[in-house]
Amino acid sequence: MYNLLKGKKGIIFGALDENSIAWKVAERAHEEGAEFVLTNAPIAMRMGGIKDLAAKTGSEIIPADATSMDDLNNLVEKSMEILGGKIDFVLHSIGMSVNVRKGRHYTDSKYDFTTKGWDVSAVSFHKVMNVLYNKQAMNEWGSIVALTYMAAQRVFPDYNDMADNKAYLESIARSFGYFFGRDHKVRVNTISQSPTPTTAGQGVKGFDGFISYAEKMSPLGNATALECADYTISLFSDLTKKVTLQNLFHDGGFSNMGVSDAVMERFIEE
Ligand code: NAI
């Protein structure tokens, strides 16, 4: 390990179980010398093994529903107390669509479901940054990262309204990132990750087909959760200080492919 985050303090949202991308980020951040607070929605605390992760990484857990300004204010205040100062890095690794969960087709969305999913998956990122910005909780040259998916730019029919949520999330990263950069020298980026077998990922209809197709299309193959964590660590480190307002594809090359030999083979008639 490289001590890339030695002395840095962070907040990590979204570690539900050991498959979660946030879980891998927490393990890697710990290995790289960071101290951090783990947080997740109160309901997820009861389901997941976040306590094991906290024990393993010497972290405290503060429950917070990322849609609640009260919870987020409490989280940021308590985190600064626990960590003994301002924050250097924040990971937003949160996504949920009620329409997906309830099996509603995109063309037949239920709009209170749409609103809830949009609040959890996209607006929560604005709320998190609002609290960090207004409490002046971030150190200069700090780094904020959210996770997204390429359905924000291109059509993946079964991704449902999460596609729209991700487009909104990526826009928030740019819009808020401008003010955070100008006023506090904090960078804000999104990482657009390959399909990854996690609880959220596997909630997408036809996920198995989806992940194998991406694997065959990508010259380097799909990026794993651990590889995503490595990339995230690089964005939290001082090696990427001037990278901001970006949507960064971490997908083995998938996003720039038209077709690959492996996919073509399946369509060539003998
Ligand atoms: P996951 O299911 O392990 O993580 C999602 C997390 O969101 C869970 O920990 C859940 O408790 C949390 N969450 C849901 N509602 C919340 C709320 N109201 N307040 C606070 N936290 C809440 O799945 P994964 O895949 O690790 O997801 C992390 C991020 O990566 C999400 O933004 C997801 O959309 C994104 N992503 C996932 C991909 C995949 O194929 N798995 C691909 C590209 C992006």
pLDDT above 90 as % of the chain? 91
In this prediction, residues 200-212 reach a mean pLDDT of 88
User: What is the ipTM for the molecules in this complex?
Assistant: 0.99
The predicted structure's pLDDT at residue 185: 98
Longest dimension (CA), the chain: 67
Alpha helices in 141-206 (DSSP H): 162-184, 199-202
Do the annotations mark residue 85 as ligand-binding?
no
Q: Which of 2, 149, 213, 231 is catalytic?
A: 149
Task: Compute the distance from residue 268 Cα to the ligand 1 centre, in Å.
Answer: 38
Kindly report the pTM of this predicted structure: 0.98
Residue 149 among the catalytic residues: yes
Q: For the chain, what is the mean pLDDT?
A: 96
- Which atom of ligand 1 lies at the shortest distance from residue 149's CA? 43
Closest CA to 226 of 12, 29, 11: 29
3-state secondary structure of 198: coil
Task: Compute the distance from residue 95 Cα to the ligand 1 centre, in Å.
Answer: 4
Residues with CB under 6 A from ligand 1: 13-14, 16, 20-22, 40-41, 44, 65-67, 93-96, 120, 147-149, 193, 195-196, 198-201
Q: Model confidence at 48, in pLDDT bands (50, 70, 90)?
A: low
Contact predicate 19/207, CB 8 Å? no
Residue 133 among the catalytic residues: no
Domains, the chain, with CATH or none: 9-269 (3.40.50.720)
pLDDT above 70 as % of the chain? 99
Contact predicate 250/231, CB 8 Å? yes
DSSP-assigned letter for residue 137: -
In this prediction, residues 207-222 reach a mean pLDDT of 95
Q: Model confidence at 101, in pLDDT bands (50, 70, 90)?
A: very high
Task: Compute the distance from residue 14 Cα to the ligand 1 centre, in Å.
Answer: 6
The predicted structure's pLDDT at residue 34: 98
